[in-house]
Chain A
Amino acid sequence: MSALAMSDYLLGAPAVADRSQRFRLWIDRVGVFLVCLGDSITIGGPAADGAADVSLLANLSRRHATLSRSGERYVIYAHAPVLIAGRPLHERADLCDGNELQLGGSVRLRFRLPCVMSGSARLDFLSDHRPAYAADAVVLMHDTCLLGPAAENHIVCPDWPQSLLLYRQGGALCCKSRDDLFIDGRHSPGGGELPPGTVVTATDIRFRLETIS
């Protein structure tokens, strides 16, 4: 598994790697999070085919906006009306932590960069619009994604005893924690690689990684 390329890891089909670099984290007592690994994601409304990476049940264009990561910066490209902090966006703009985005007439999202040590970002849903399939927030994962009790984690898990780190290594996705982890029932002290569909458990922790096809 260590030599598995990220695209293989996720899909096994490089042709659709761009679309497929997403997975869901189902976390007990916390929620479900859509994690996007690509450097660029599209946000849009529902569509029978060619839906956006984050397809919301909302009155939006099929591809309403694109968020791109460039180094440690995030840039938003508007393909349809977008407001940032209440001001109309013309073409593109850099995003900062806490920026409120309004897509169309009613979809409101908040862009967060919760941890200064990581280039990963999170999109919170402020309005009631959600993707057709459950997601409490979207994580735009760079190299690492932090899960834990403190506010600076990308996914805040209030009752967890300590944080857990998801990271990419050699094209594979791995996790690391001080906690005694079990990966698919195997004792993995400190962490290890996470194949698709893995269930990770520890004291007061359980989550499952689900690839999106």
Chain B
Amino acid sequence: MKFTFAPEAAPLAGYTIKRAIDRGGFGEVYYALSDSGKEVALKLLQRNQQVELRGVRQCLNLKHPNLVTIFDIKSDAEDDSWVVMEFVSGKSLEQVLEDHPKGLPIAEVEAWLSGMAAGIGFLHDRGIVHRDLKPANVFRENGVVKIGDVGLSKFITPSRRSAQTESVGTVYYMAPEVAHGKYGSELDVYSLGIMLYELLTGQVPFNGESTGEILMKHMTEAPDLTRIAAQFRPVLARALEKDPQRRTPGAMVLADEFRRAVQGLPVGEHAAAARPVNGKAVGGEPSGHAHTLPYPLASGPPSPAGSAPKTATPQTGKQFFAEEVRRNPWLVLALGFVFLFVFPGVAAHVGWRGGPFVPMGSTAAFVYLIYWFVKHYHKLTNAPGGPAGNGRNPVPAGRSPQTAGPDPIAAMKPLAPVIAVPVAKFVPKVVPPKKGPPQFSPATVRSIDLRTRLGGLSSSMALAVFWTVPATFLAALAAKYWSVLGPGAVNTLADPASIGLFGLTTVLGSWAVLLPAKLREGGGAETTPRRLIATALGAAVGACAFWLDQSLMVEPRFNSVFPGLFSSIGQFPLLGASRDPTLAGFVTFFAALFALLHWWWQADGFRSRRLKVSSALASGLMAFFIPALFVFPQGWGVCWAVAISLVVQLSAPWVSPGHRHGFVDDKPVV
């Protein structure tokens, strides 16, 4: 990125440029020192100079602790205009969000929101709309939130709130009515709502590949509020209303509603009380409501707010159930268990003897289904039970469900003379997906130096030995009290030899996962080579387990709910005379177990969570079904798989998502 002025340049008398800060939408910004040492930000206006200057002049004498102060406007020898501004050294909200990919703690959200709302409320009170609110324009210095770039601000008067011919602002935070050339104060509230959503979740509600796509989503798509805690949904639903007239009537009201939601106070009634009375919102802030043109019918194109597709056509309970079945594998599993419980004949027919797993699984499935039903009751019955419907169909707070839908007649009533509004000129262009926390996964390619790699491997292998002790203890407990090893197998793990076999094999299995995972970490997905290596190592673990089995003279009691499709591999039987697994049995089971699962994913530093119980359960599930193909003591197999998964996850180093970006760049030149 090239900048016009070099360090130590002094285009403006009395100021020396020290470094460039950034290039904004309207020009370059520099850090400069006055002759006496006062630090300032100098903004050189290049494009749209007149547009910007007009706005900046209006804000020149505005003083508010939450707004970046503008000191002066000056011209240089080349007659270029410069804005001399307060330099804010704190982090921008954009940087803070990059550090918090899953959103900020609620107290932090409240601090940011109240600061922004105070600044924006002040601007609105002075009749000015910011129009370019976005995280990159908001800073926090010494605990005080400051909004920058008020240069884009415009006076709002009824005659000037439309008829803008130029679209400005950043598309992720752009209110739908901007597409129709409307620039009322409501658009700042919308932007604030988008930022509140991003503060809570770490993501913007509307993302896409191009400007056009994102704009279309702003105009037609309801925000997915299911990612927001229930108490905040009405607040967000109202702030992100497509129709500016129905939107939260002011920035301060939005902050107040959020504060009430944090305290667990009802937002709906409060919001109703806060609705503008004679054009004034609670708190004395001009709402802009009195002179807001009714957005839905004011202009030619189909009105997104008037039609509000998702709001107007709520999902039926049946549709919701179908979607859940598609999205939620646990629901399918639970339904499957209940089916087997209700129709035991089916299980018998397919040769599944069940053992203790059917009652255990069915009980768990029933409990889960009850929980699921209670949680989604109002969605299934399509009743407006929740404060915001099902979250995808937000009902504006403070309105009864009956009046929540579009009412064209009511919308038309306050229609002043309809103005032919020029539609803003949007040039759809390809934009990169929303910058922000990149999603790193174990498949992310990154370079790791050998020292770090070996350090991680040795420490995790040592930790694996440590974690195997509690894992073995848990397996022994499971064997003793829950009889998961099947009838007649109680106390199987109680004797020292069995514990030795189980523990040592678990350690070996964990090492067999950790070794290739750590040595190839950062090499991308490479599924096939990884699987081949895992299969070979699995076979080796199986051979070692057999050797231990023979050395320790353990007889893993055979039990399996499946008859097993293969009882031998070629001429090698999988079970011996005493139904004890043979070398072929051990090797086959462990090779299959290692081949069928993405074990390296569980050991990678970029896995989604340090310990994911579902990964352990999935590993156990895989081990549960392998004996359906190759006969093997099922209880032992399941316990080994779960134990290896837990030990691997607990031992392998993990990088928290916020710190991952630092691990994917090129290594420095040394």
Do A and B come together as binding partners?
yes
A185 nearest in chain B by CB position: B6
With a cutoff of 8 Å between Cβ atoms, the chain B residues found around residue A30 in the complex are: 19
Q: Is B330 at the interface (CB under 8 A from chain A)? A: no
With a cutoff of 8 Å between Cβ atoms, the chain A residues found around residue B3 in the complex are: 28, 206
Is A28 in contact with B20, judged by CB distance below 8 angstroms? Answer: yes
Is B89 in contact with A151, judged by CB distance below 8 angstroms? Answer: no
Pick the residue among B8, B143, B451 that contacts A208 (CB under 8 A). B8
- In the docked arrangement, what's the CA distance between A176 and B20, Å? 22
Segment of B235-243, B280-288, B373-381, B658-666 engaged in the interface with chain A: B658-666
Is B665 in contact with A146, judged by CB distance below 8 angstroms? Answer: no
Is A150 in contact with B662, judged by CB distance below 8 angstroms? Answer: yes
Pick the residue among A27, A152, A199, A204 that contacts B668 (CB under 8 A). A152
Is A26 in contact with B89, judged by CB distance below 8 angstroms? Answer: no
21 contacts between A and B (CB under 8 A): A26-B18, A26-B19, A28-B21, A30-B19, A32-B19, A128-B143, A134-B39, A149-B666, A150-B668, A151-B662, A151-B665, A152-B668, A153-B668, A156-B662, A162-B666, A176-B669, A199-B6, A199-B7, A204-B1, A207-B19, A208-B18
With a cutoff of 8 Å between Cβ atoms, the chain A residues found around residue B18 in the complex are: 26, 32, 134, 208
Q: Is A164 at the interface (CB under 8 A from chain B)? A: yes
Q: Chain A 149-168 against B: per-residue CB contact (8 Å), 1 yes, 0 no?
A: 11111001001001111000
Pick the residue among A29, A115, A133, A134 that contacts B1 (CB under 8 A). A29
Q: Which of A186-213 contact B (CB under 8 A)?
A: 197, 199, 204, 206-208
Q: Is B407 at the interface (CB under 8 A from chain A)? A: no
Is B663 in contact with A144, judged by CB distance below 8 angstroms? Answer: no
Q: Is B37 at the interface (CB under 8 A from chain A)? A: yes
- In the docked arrangement, what's the CA distance between A206 and B31, Å? 14
With a cutoff of 8 Å between Cβ atoms, the chain A residues found around residue B668 in the complex are: 115, 146, 148, 150, 152-153, 162-163, 165
- In the docked arrangement, what's the CA distance between A115 and B670, Å? 11
Q: Is B76 at the interface (CB under 8 A from chain A)? A: no
Knowing A117-B670, A146-B670, A149-B666, the reply to whether A208 touches B7 (Cβ < 8 A) is yes
Q: Is B667 at the interface (CB under 8 A from chain A)? A: yes
Smallest beta-carbon distance A75→chain B, Å: 25
Is A165 in contact with B1, judged by CB distance below 8 angstroms? Answer: no
Is A165 in contact with B659, judged by CB distance below 8 angstroms? Answer: no
Q: Which of A164-178 contact B (CB under 8 A)?
A: 164-165, 176-178
With a cutoff of 8 Å between Cβ atoms, the chain B residues found around residue A199 in the complex are: 6-8
Q: Is B159 at the interface (CB under 8 A from chain A)? A: no
B451 nearest in chain A by CB position: A116
Knowing A29-B1, A128-B142, A151-B663, the reply to whether A165 touches B19 (Cβ < 8 A) is no
Q: Is A130 at the interface (CB under 8 A from chain B)? A: yes
Smallest beta-carbon distance A48→chain B, Å: 15
B19 nearest in chain A by CB position: A26
A: contact size bracket? 35 or more
- In the docked arrangement, what's the CA distance between A203 and B8, Å? 20
Q: Is B269 at the interface (CB under 8 A from chain A)? A: no
Given contact pairs A176-B669, A208-B7, enumerate 12 new A-B contacts (beta carbons under 8 Å).
A28-B21, A32-B19, A118-B670, A128-B143, A134-B39, A148-B666, A149-B666, A150-B662, A150-B663, A150-B665, A151-B659, A206-B3
Smallest beta-carbon distance A23→chain B, Å: 13
Q: Is B22 at the interface (CB under 8 A from chain A)? A: yes
What residues of chain B have their CB less than 8 Å away from a CB belonging to chain A? 1, 3, 6-8, 18-22, 31, 37, 39, 89, 141-143, 451, 659, 661-663, 665-670
Smallest beta-carbon distance B504→chain A, Å: 34
Among B18, B22, B662, B665, find the residue whose CB has the most chain A CB atoms closer than 10 A: B665
- In the docked arrangement, what's the CA distance between A113 and B543, Å? 45
- In the docked arrangement, what's the CA distance between A101 and B20, Å? 31
B3 nearest in chain A by CB position: A28
Is B667 in contact with A150, judged by CB distance below 8 angstroms? Answer: yes
Pick the residue among A26, A130, A149 that contacts B665 (CB under 8 A). A149
Smallest beta-carbon distance A127→chain B, Å: 10
Smallest beta-carbon distance A182→chain B, Å: 11
Among B22, B142, B662, B668, find the residue whose CB has the most chain A CB atoms closer than 10 A: B668
A153 nearest in chain B by CB position: B668
Q: Which of A24-43 contact B (CB under 8 A)?
A: 26-32
- In the docked arrangement, what's the CA distance between A148 and B669, Å? 9
With a cutoff of 8 Å between Cβ atoms, the chain A residues found around residue B22 in the complex are: 29
Is B19 in contact with A208, judged by CB distance below 8 angstroms? Answer: yes
- In the docked arrangement, what's the CA distance between A204 and B22, Å? 12
A30 nearest in chain B by CB position: B19
Is A165 in contact with B670, judged by CB distance below 8 angstroms? Answer: yes
- In the docked arrangement, what's the CA distance between A110 and B663, Å? 20
With a cutoff of 8 Å between Cβ atoms, the chain B residues found around residue A134 in the complex are: 18, 31, 39, 89
- In the docked arrangement, what's the CA distance between A117 and B668, Å? 10
Going nearest first, the 4 A-B pairs with the smallest beta carbon separation are: A151-B662, A163-B668, A150-B665, A208-B7
With a cutoff of 8 Å between Cβ atoms, the chain B residues found around residue A148 in the complex are: 665-666, 668-669
- In the docked arrangement, what's the CA distance between A165 and B668, Å? 8
With a cutoff of 8 Å between Cβ atoms, the chain A residues found around residue B8 in the complex are: 197, 199, 208
- In the docked arrangement, what's the CA distance between A118 and B89, Å? 29
With a cutoff of 8 Å between Cβ atoms, the chain B residues found around residue A176 in the complex are: 669
A204 nearest in chain B by CB position: B1
Q: Which of A3-60 contact B (CB under 8 A)?
A: 26-32
Is B669 in contact with A163, judged by CB distance below 8 angstroms? Answer: yes
- In the docked arrangement, what's the CA distance between A146 and B668, Å? 7
With a cutoff of 8 Å between Cβ atoms, the chain A residues found around residue B7 in the complex are: 26, 199, 206, 208
Is A150 in contact with B669, judged by CB distance below 8 angstroms? Answer: no
- In the docked arrangement, what's the CA distance between A202 and B82, Å? 26
With a cutoff of 8 Å between Cβ atoms, the chain B residues found around residue A115 in the complex are: 668
With a cutoff of 8 Å between Cβ atoms, the chain B residues found around residue A177 in the complex are: 669
Is B89 in contact with A165, judged by CB distance below 8 angstroms? Answer: no
- In the docked arrangement, what's the CA distance between A151 and B662, Å? 4
